[in-house]
Amino acid sequence: MLLVLIPLLSVFWTGCPQTNSISDSQKPFILRVYKTPGNISVEQWDQGLEILWSFNANTDIIPSDGNFEPYFQIRYRSGNSNWTITNIRIESCSYYFNNLSTETFYLLQIRAGDGGNWCSWTDAGVWKPDIGRNIDIEAPLNPVNNSGDREINFIWDPVPDIVSYRVEYRKTGDVKWSTQTVNTAECIIPDLKGGSSYEVRVAAVKNNKSGHWSPVLLIRITDAEMEEIPEPPVLSIDQPDGSAVGELVLQWNSVAGASKYKVEYGTDSAFNKSTFDFPSSANTWTAKGLRPEDTVYGFKVYAGNESGWSEPSIPVTQVCRLAKPANVNVTAGNAGQLNVSWDKMEGNGVSHYNIYWNTGESLSGAGKANTTVGNAGITTYTIRNLNNDTEYYVWVQVCVLSGSWFDGPHSNAVTGVTL
């Protein structure tokens, strides 16, 4: 028997080079699992692009036994050109690509790994350098807020050899920044909306180029004259005779101090639909397009002003029932005939009408008869072959097809006497 012994090969990673970049020959091949770097952003400078990210080596790497040296790979390219790839130590969370063309857009990507295993490449977006910014200009330090009534009074430490600053601010949640330029280390931004939050930052400017931004401050604007938030309205729902299919009429009281109202509604108390803002003069709204008869809807209304919205009204739930036909009218026609008319029922799904008549006041019992008017657009019908000189009670009913057939309630009885 021939016994072949295969020696075990041990690979040890013995240390970290002192430079920031790692050569291909230094890459280890022990597998790890990495999370994608987070909070990726890009700063545009006059000669290049700076990519920034966050990564916690203690939590963003799933460890296993063995030595390893994790690092980041960052790459960029313009158009369909070849990628330029740089390896960065795991301790770093930023990198600056300089000497880029100010006329060219570049795609940036980043991933974490150790040469044996990588997370997926993550896009950092497509960017081009900004000739209006200089990476060598320091960020102003110690920005603070001394805001007053409906204004921001923003101050910071002066930056040496700087004669102007660029201040940007925006309401929290907005995308676009507003800008002011000042010549001292202070900026007052007046006429802001009381009760709102704003973000503000500052950069020093030299030779018409701005530098690094200060940390962003989140500032809540006060208002000594700010109105009290209104009380919640009281909501009610009505469905008068003749209401269109799939409609409910909401009504609420006028609330002191309210300049607007809004309604939220939905099925199963989800309230996942919202109306636009109504003016203070509006105290009613018609919900349309509701499914009739078999679906419960919930509604609530808010009162608001510049200070904010009230708590919601007590929710009201209701099934959108089919309404009775309105303005039913019965007149004598020729001998043994009655002419019946009613208002057209609006809304989706109206199919036809049923006409009922009887010599008694009841819809059941001897003498009851009925017919179908098979067109939703017809609102008149002549009942024939009736007894002469006899009083009849007449009812009208709407029928709707909305997924299933639904018969609405009968109208109130209307009497007519034949000739």
DSSP string, 185-217: SEEEE-SPPTT-EEEEEEEEEETTEEEEEPPPE
Indicate if the pLDDT at residue 20 is higher than 70.
no
Q: Please write the tens of the pLDDT for every residue from 104-124.
A: 999 999 998 887 788 889 999
Instruction: Give the CATH fold of the 24-127 domain.
Output: Immunoglobulin-like (2.60.40)
What would the mean pLDDT of 334-361 be, rounded to a whole number?
Answer: 88
* pTM more than 0.85: no
Indicate if the pLDDT at residue 129 is higher than 60.
yes
**Can 24-127 and 329-417 be said to share one CATH topology?**
yes
What would the mean pLDDT of 311-324 be, rounded to a whole number?
Answer: 87
What would the mean pLDDT of 283-289 be, rounded to a whole number?
Answer: 89
Q: Which of 55-69, 103-117, 330-344 has the lowest mean pLDDT?
A: 55-69
> Tokens at residue 271, please?
């309230």
Indicate if the pLDDT at residue 29 is higher than 60.
no
> Long-range contacts for 195-198 (Cβ within 8 Å, ≥24 apart)?
195/221, 195/222, 195/223, 195/226, 195/306, 195/307, 195/308, 196/171, 196/172, 196/220, 196/221, 197/171, 197/172, 197/221, 198/152, 198/169, 198/170, 198/171, 198/172
Task: Give CA–CA dist 166/188, Å, rounded.
Answer: 12
- How much is the pLDDT for 345? 84
Is the sign of the CA dihedral 252, 257, 258, 259 positive or negative?
positive
Angle (CA) 357 358 364, round 5°? 100
DSSP state letter for 27: -
- Domain 144-220 part of CATH 3.60.20.30: no
Q: Which of 56-65, 199-208, 296-305, 318-327 has the lowest mean pLDDT?
A: 56-65
| Mean pLDDT taken over the chain | 83
% pLDDT > 90, the chain: 40
The neighbouring-strand residues paired with 206 are: 209
Angle (CA) 131 137 140, round 5°? 125
Superfamily of domain 329-417 in CATH is Immunoglobulins (2.60.40.10)
Closest CA to 340 of 399, 395, 386: 395
Task: Confirm if 67 and 153 have CB atoms less than 8 A apart.
Answer: no
Instruction: Give the CATH fold of the 235-319 domain.
Output: Immunoglobulin-like (2.60.40)
Indicate if the pLDDT at residue 19 is higher than 70.
no
- How much is the pLDDT for 250? 93
Task: Confirm if 384 and 337 have CB atoms less than 8 A apart.
Answer: yes
Rg of the chain taking only CA atoms, in angstroms: 38
Q: Please write the tens of the pLDDT for every residue from 135-173.
A: 899 999 998 887 667 788 889 999 999 989 999 999 888
**What's the half-sphere exposure (Cβ side, CA atoms, 13 Å) at 416?**
27
> Where in the chain are the domains?
24-127, 144-220, 235-319, 329-417
Angle (CA) 116 117 119, round 5°? 155
Task: Give CA–CA dist 406/398, Å, rounded.
Answer: 9
Residue scoring higher pLDDT (199 or 308): 199
